[in-house]
C-alpha cells in the first residue's frame, strides 16, 4: 500500500512539473511578444517626437522669415515716409 501511495504522489508531482513547465513556456512566449510590442511602441513614439520637433522647427523658420519681412516692410515705409510714426 505504501508503494501505491508513493507512486500516486510521484505521479502527481510529475503532472505538476509538466504543468509548470508548460506554463513557463507560455509565459516566456507571452513575454517575448510583449517585448516586441513594447519595442514597436517605443519606435513609434520616437517617430512621433521626431515629427513634432520637425514641425516646431518649421514654425520657427517661418516666424524668422515673417519677422524679416515685417522689418523690411517697416524699413520701406520709413524710407517712403508712409509710416504713421
The whole-number pLDDT of residue 13 equals: 94
The rounded distance, in Å, linking the Cα atoms of 73 and 82 is 10
More confident: 83 or 45: 45
The whole-number pLDDT of residue 85 equals: 56
Listed range (7-11, 51-55, 72-76, 81-85) with the worst mean pLDDT:
81-85
The whole-number pLDDT of residue 84 equals: 67
The rounded distance, in Å, linking the Cα atoms of 7 and 18 is 16
C-alpha cell at 19: 504543468
The rounded distance, in Å, linking the Cα atoms of 9 and 16 is 10
The rounded distance, in Å, linking the Cα atoms of 12 and 23 is 16
Amino acid at each position: 500500500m505504501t508503494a501505491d501511495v508513493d507512486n500516486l504522489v510521484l505521479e502527481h508531482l510529475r503532472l505538476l512539473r509538466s504543468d509548470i513547465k508548460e506554463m513557463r513556456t507560455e509565459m516566456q512566449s507571452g513575454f517575448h511578444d510583449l517585448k516586441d510590442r513594447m519595442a514597436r511602441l517605443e519606435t513609434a513614439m520616437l517617430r512621433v517626437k521626431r515629427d513634432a520637433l520637425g514641425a516646431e522647427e518649421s514654425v520657427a523658420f517661418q516666424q524668422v522669415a515673417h519677422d524679416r519681412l515685417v522689418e523690411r516692410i517697416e524699413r520701406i515705409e520709413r524710407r517712403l515716409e508712409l509710416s504713421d510714426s
